[in-house]
Amino acid sequence: MSLVHEIDYGTPASKSEKLVTLTIDGMTVQVPEGTSIMRAAMEVGNQIPKLCATDMLDAFGSCRLCLVEIEGRNGTPASCTTPVADGIVVKTQTERLKKIRKGVMELYISDHPLDCLTCSANGDCELQDMAGVVGLRDVRYGYEGENHTKLGKDESNPYFTYEKSKCIVCNRCVRACEEVQGTFALTISGRGFDSRVSPGMDESFLSSECVSCGACVQSCPTATLNEKAMYNIGTPEHSVVTTCAYCGVGCTFKAEMRGDELVRMVPYKDGKANRGHSCVKGRFAYGYAVHQDRILKPMIRSSIHEPWKEVSYEEAIAYAASEFKRIQEKYGKRSVGGITSSRCTNEETYLVQKLIRGGFGNNNVDTCARVCHSPTGYGLSVTYGTSAGTQDFDSIEESDVVLIIGANPTDGHPVFGSRLKKRLRQGAKLIVVDPRRTDVVRSPHIEAAYHLPLRPGTNVAIVTALAHVIVTEGLVNEQFVRERCDWEEFQEWAAFVAEERHSPEAVEKYTGVPADAVRGAARLYATGGNGAIYYGLGVTEHSQGSTTVIAIANLAMATGNIGRNGVGVNPLRGQNNVQGSCDMGSFPHELPGYRHISDDATRASFEALWGVGLDDEPGLRIPNMFDAAVEGTYKGMYVQGEDILQSDPDTKHVSAGLAALECLVVQDLFLNETANYAHVFLPGCSFLEKDGTFTNAERRIQRIRKVMAPKNGYADWEVTQMLSNALGFPMNYSHPGEIMDEIAALTPSFAGVNYKLLDEMGSVQWPCNEKAPEGTPIMHIGGFVRGKGKFMLTEYVPTDEKTGPRFPLLLTTGRILSQYNVGAQTRRTENVVWHAEDVLEIHAHDAEVRGIRDGDFVKLDSRAGSTSLRAVISDRVAPGVVYTTFHHPVTQANVVTTDYSDWATNCPEYKVTAVQVSPSNGPTQWQEEYENLSRTSRRIAAE
Ligand code: SF4
Ligand code: SF4
Ligand code: SF4
Ligand code: FES
């Protein structure tokens, strides 16, 4: 294995379809109009020396190293900023050019600390390379004059250093921060000789606006900005292309290694979701994989009050299997079940549901999508015929109006957030529907045309009001609707939304959004060109989550914004593989490929291949599993890669359910909070230690590849296989590629997928089959998957969760950039410097009437429970609304969330909880007990 080197063409590719022919160093080249001479030269293999140019950024033309001569033109133009022209004759290497380039390099080198042998970028430095390329052998000016070589270092960022003395002021970092990331955290301060890169107003990186995405580090041609791992470990020697295991964007990385040590994660330019960019989590926060908290040996105990006992895999698996068998004999076949993980691979998820259906003989399988995007699956399936988003991420580049509902892309889906911001800076318009003023509403060089700060729980009313304006003001795309949708259903829907009670003016009193803003937003979405909708958990995690998804689908159909580039309905899926876990049959009523378990033909195909009869009754959903456990009819559970105690609502009820189990098997990297109630602990394996595939929010199936041996000895799929064999349901795979072959054989939308294709194409979006052998980037082109698009009525039903004198405020929850979900991974990395605790955002008015000051500890009470945390006074939330994140187990935001859930899918209503906030002295008694339990559990494990 060697390092995967991606060619740097110096400037971005031109999108023009018109071709231009020119001659470079005697060779004829044909390239798209608008291509730079530098890039055209690369096409024929001539690498023109460069320092300030890189193909991730627009040309800048500051270093003067890339000069060329063009016949018939005066001077020596910079090849990075000069576009090709028909018939020109270019020379890239002449005596004059050689002399100029040497002179340029002499100036750079005379002001550079020549500590190359001990420099962190030794062997990975473009300045060093260019000195060699231009043949620099001497510096006539010497090194003694005024220079910058004694400037200090900024080491404030936990992951990279800024070694000021090595900066050549090429501006690449500043441009990367602006053009790629869109944060505008860097400037060049000072003039002339005093010019230096400066985070913010001459602050440290850590205290500046920097979000630590690393784009500047990646673009820096010297050691000025460099990963600390390059200092500590040295340069990498081989790399493996793999996929980020955090969020549903699914960024592709080169894991650059020295031996079996991971030196750095470099975003892959060929990655179709990220196009060479990343966020702080994927690029830097991988240290959890080698964290000391990882449990590497299986453990068992007969009661949760006993200490754990370390045992062999054989013993742990045999114990778990015998317990499951005992329980089924005593309480019946349906008394056990399991939960698949959206963090694990498609292959692993598939195996867990196969084990439950085939080995347990029931359909008690569910997944964390239950608590996030199950309404997406339902809503898009009934209206369009497919339980997934309609576009690829590249589609945003063609959008003219972007409507974001209940999503916070710059925190939750950061690389998509950056791509969105880039499109907005190019002129696309933005509408944000969110109770909170998220970053995209207003940030450098971006301002939403409309922010509709609705009261939590009123999504259906707002989206239906948008439809009201579109219908009553004649903005419907009638041709699209007549051709593509059921016309009668449309008419019924149009009459429904046109009712006065759905007008922006009528709903204003309970949504809190001014009617004229709703009207303006509706007009803009319907008439502004390509309109794309992106939405998140702020849509789905409501008692009417499915209704809102349907309302969104209606809106896109009514305006014809479906079935081409730049438009569509796009759920921003949370977990890296939540799409995949749903595709793989993780729901109790569906086999892989979203086919109902009661369908005889589908069941028969699985029965034939698996060699076992299948139960035709849908199994229990997660909340029903806990209800049944409390009632005493559900007694055993296998949970792979999910901390249900922390991530599910109404923690008290979940813990009561877990405590009632006679056998809980937890498979995870760490002794998580759920493991407090476990009887068998099976060590999990990180994404760096195994092979498989993830499916991102675009339906893109991507490989993850093993970069190091599993520290716990086995990949997760191998452990599931052992358990299945011990249960008497044989599995005999030797590689995940064989599991994918079985998935493809049984699942029509995956029929064409195999590892060879994935290796050749990099990735593929399902459906991938005979009709679409290279996958399907955009869905519903020319017709909906279900036939005619289905308009459905979306009656707004207020949630039962109501504010009142006892609980007068509405709590809504979300994520922040540096942490990931329950924080099991990110809390075990340096990312904690950005978010050491969850805090409660509260409006100044609500804080003042309660005597709460910024930073005070407060108690948060709901009818479900209490917790306490620090308050931060913020104008991001409106009066009456408070907001927190759920990344730290000690805060346990889900202690206060209620058991209300979506009418169609049981997705919990995390986003609306009536609460009271009051001053407090510190943690609640419950939190102290909880901390004690966790501490005891960890101590017992350590012993
Ligand atoms: S790490 Fe990212 S946000 Fe920070 S300065 Fe660099 S490019 Fe900007
Ligand atoms: S820090 Fe690096 S990328 Fe930025 S101006 Fe200096 S040398 Fe160029
Ligand atoms: S945006 Fe998501 S997939 Fe990409 S690097 Fe960040 S966490 Fe990973
Ligand atoms: S690379 Fe063209 S001017 Fe720097």
Q: Among all ligands shown, which has an atom nearest to the Cα of 168?
A: 2
In the reported structure, the alpha carbon of residue 415 is separated from the centroid of ligand 3 by a whole-number distance in angstroms of: 6
Sign of CA dihedral 865, 871, 873, 874: negative
User: Which DSSP string do the residues of 454-486 spell out, in sequence order?
Assistant: PPTT-HHHHHHHHHHHHHHTT---HHHHHHHB-
Which amino acid, 817?
L
Scanning the structure block, which residue is given the tokens 């933005």?
Answer: 430
Q: What whole-number distance in Å separates Cα of residue 452 and Cα of residue 435?
A: 7
Scanning the structure block, which residue is given the tokens 């009528």?
Answer: 506
Q: Which of 247, 419, 694, 829 maximizes ligand 3 atoms within 8 Å of its Cβ, making it the mutation to test the pocket?
A: 247
Nearest 5°: phi and psi at 592?
Answer: -50, 140
Q: Which of 129, 171, 178, 205 maximizes ligand 2 atoms within 8 Å of its Cβ, making it the mutation to test the pocket?
A: 171
Q: What whole-number distance in Å separates Cα of residue 476 and Cα of residue 470?
A: 6
**Out of 146-155, 680-689, 784-793, least confident range:** 146-155
Rounded to the nearest 10 degrees, the angle between the axes of helix 126-133 and helix 95-110 is: 140
Q: Among all ligands shown, which has an atom nearest to the Cα of 204?
A: 1
In the reported structure, the alpha carbon of residue 177 is separated from the centroid of ligand 1 by a whole-number distance in angstroms of: 5
Peptide bond into 77 cis (omega under 30): no
Buried-state track 757-778, b at ≥16 Cβ within 10 A, e below 16: bbeeebbbbbbbbeebeebbbb
Does the pLDDT at position 838 exceed 60?
yes
CB-CB contact of 68 with 97 (8 Å): yes
Residue 923 has a pLDDT of 67
Residue 931 has a pLDDT of 59
249 lines ligand 3 (CB under 6 A): yes
130 lines ligand 4 (CB under 6 A): no
Q: Among all ligands shown, which has an atom nearest to the Cα of 62?
A: 4
Beta strands 839-842 and 809-814, pairing class: unpaired
User: Which DSSP string do the residues of 327-368 spell out, in sequence order?
Assistant: HHHHH-GGGEEEEE-SSS-HHHHHHHHHIIIIII-S--EEEG
State the average pLDDT over residues 291-304: 93
In the reported structure, the alpha carbon of residue 590 is separated from the centroid of ligand 3 by a whole-number distance in angstroms of: 29
State the average pLDDT over residues 826-839: 84
Q: 3-class SS at 886?
A: coil
63 lines ligand 4 (CB under 6 A): yes
Q: What is the pLDDT of residues 670-680, one digit of tens each?
A: 998 899 999 99
- Kindly report the three-state secondary structure assignment for every residue of 831-882: HHHCCCCCEEEECHHHHHHCCCCCCCEEEEECCCCEEEEEEEECCCECCCEE
Residue 932 has a pLDDT of 59
Closest Cα to atom 7 of ligand 1: 177
| Residue 327 token pair | 């329980």
414 lines ligand 3 (CB under 6 A): yes
**Ligand 1 pocket residues where CB is under 6 Å:** 176-177, 181, 183, 185-186, 210-216
Q: 3-class SS at 91?
A: strand
Q: What is the pLDDT of residues 590-644, one digit of tens each?
A: 999 999 999 999 999 999 999 999 999 999 999 899 999 999 999 999 999 988 8
CB-CB contact of 27 with 83 (8 Å): no
Does the pLDDT at position 906 exceed 80?
no
274 lines ligand 3 (CB under 6 A): yes
For residue 61, the ligand 4 atom closest to its alpha carbon is: 3
Q: In what order do the strands lie in the sheet with 261-267?
A: 238-243, 252-258, 261-267
Q: Which of 36, 58, 60, 175 maximizes ligand 4 atoms within 8 Å of its Cβ, making it the mutation to test the pocket?
A: 60
Listed residue (586, 656, 667, 575) closest to 621, CA to CA = 586
pLDDT band at 941 (very low <50, low <70, confident <90, very high): very low
Q: What percent of the chain has pLDDT over 90?
A: 74
Longest dimension (CA), the chain: 92
> What Å distances lie between residue 693 and 289, 706, 735, 737, CA to CA?
18, 11, 12, 9
Does the pLDDT at position 649 exceed 50?
yes
CB-CB contact of 540 with 578 (8 Å): no
Q: Which DSSP helix (H) or strand (E) runs through 753?
A: none
**Out of 137-151, 240-254, 483-497, 734-748, least confident range:** 137-151
CB-CB contact of 72 with 43 (8 Å): no
Q: 3-class SS at 569?
A: strand
CB-CB contact of 822 with 889 (8 Å): yes
Number of H helices, E strands in the chain: 29, 37
Q: What is the pLDDT of residues 569-582, one digit of tens each?
A: 999 987 899 999 99
Instruction: Using CA atoms of 54, 55, 57, 59 in order, give the dihedral in degrees to the nearest 10.
Output: 70
Does the pLDDT at position 934 exceed 60?
no
Does the pLDDT at position 929 exceed 70?
no
Rounded to the nearest 10 degrees, the angle between the axes of helix 459-472 and helix 504-511 is: 170
Q: What whole-number distance in Å separates Cα of residue 115 and Cα of residue 124?
A: 14
Closest Cα to atom 2 of ligand 1: 213
Closest Cα to atom 6 of ligand 1: 216
Entry pTM: 0.92
Q: Among all ligands shown, which has an atom nearest to the Cα of 188?
A: 2
Closest Cα to atom 1 of ligand 4: 50
Closest Cα to atom 2 of ligand 2: 220
Q: Which of 159, 171, 183, 206 maximizes ligand 1 atoms within 8 Å of its Cβ, making it the mutation to test the pocket?
A: 183
Residue 943 has a pLDDT of 45
Q: What whole-number distance in Å separates Cα of residue 50 and Cα of residue 80?
A: 8
Does the pLDDT at position 797 exceed 50?
yes
Beta bridge partners of 89: 23
In the reported structure, the alpha carbon of residue 59 is separated from the centroid of ligand 1 by a whole-number distance in angstroms of: 19
Sign of CA dihedral 257, 262, 265, 268: positive
Which amino acid, 109?
I
State the average pLDDT over residues 91-106: 94
Residue 147 has a pLDDT of 66
Sign of CA dihedral 709, 710, 712, 715: negative
In the reported structure, the alpha carbon of residue 257 is separated from the centroid of ligand 1 by a whole-number distance in angstroms of: 23
State the average pLDDT over residues 257-277: 95
Could you say which DSSP state residue 785 is in?
A: T
Residue 142 has a pLDDT of 63
> What Å distances lie between residue 444 and 184, 186, 378, CA to CA?
7, 12, 37
State the average pLDDT over residues 191-215: 88
Listed residue (796, 804, 811, 843) closest to 911, CA to CA = 811
CB-CB contact of 198 with 209 (8 Å): no
> What Å distances lie between residue 173 and 170, 228, 877, CA to CA?
8, 17, 33
Q: Which DSSP helix (H) or strand (E) runs through 417?
A: helix 414-425
Q: What whole-number distance in Å separates Cα of residue 644 and Cα of residue 339?
A: 9
Q: Which of 202, 216, 226 maximizes ligand 1 atoms within 8 Å of its Cβ, making it the mutation to test the pocket?
A: 216
Q: Which of 62, 130, 168, 170 maximizes ligand 4 atoms within 8 Å of its Cβ, making it the mutation to test the pocket?
A: 62
User: Which DSSP string do the residues of 133-155 spell out, in sequence order?
Assistant: HTT----TT-S-SS-STT--EE-
Does the pLDDT at position 352 exceed 70?
yes
281 lines ligand 3 (CB under 6 A): yes
For residue 174, the ligand 2 atom closest to its alpha carbon is: 4
pLDDT band at 161 (very low <50, low <70, confident <90, very high): very high
| Residue 229 token pair | 């791992």
Residue 930 has a pLDDT of 60
Listed residue (571, 578, 469) closest to 523, CA to CA = 469
Q: What whole-number distance in Å separates Cα of residue 354 and Cα of residue 584?
A: 10
User: Which DSSP string do the residues of 594-629 spell out, in sequence order?
Assistant: TEETT-HHHHHHHHHHHTS----S----HHHHHHHH
CB-CB contact of 745 with 738 (8 Å): no
**Out of 545-549, 575-579, 896-900, least confident range:** 896-900
For residue 180, the ligand 1 atom closest to its alpha carbon is: 7
State the average pLDDT over residues 497-517: 96
- Round the average pLDDT of the chain to a whole number and report it: 91
Q: What is the pLDDT of residues 711-736, one digit of tens each?
A: 999 999 999 999 999 999 999 999 99
Scanning the structure block, which residue is given the tokens 């187990």?
Answer: 889
Q: What whole-number distance in Å separates Cα of residue 224 and Cα of residue 219?
A: 11
pLDDT band at 942 (very low <50, low <70, confident <90, very high): very low
Q: What whole-number distance in Å separates Cα of residue 852 and Cα of residue 643?
A: 33
pLDDT band at 318 (very low <50, low <70, confident <90, very high): very high
pLDDT band at 924 (very low <50, low <70, confident <90, very high): low
Q: What whole-number distance in Å separates Cα of residue 354 and Cα of residue 352?
A: 5
Count the neighbouring beta carbons within 10 Å of the beta carbon of residue 653: 19
> What Å distances lie between residue 617 and 398, 412, 904, CA to CA?
45, 36, 18
Q: Among all ligands shown, which has an atom nearest to the Cα of 410?
A: 3
State the average pLDDT over residues 774-782: 94
Nearest 5°: phi and psi at 419?
Answer: -65, -35
Does the pLDDT at position 702 exceed 90?
yes
pLDDT band at 255 (very low <50, low <70, confident <90, very high): very high
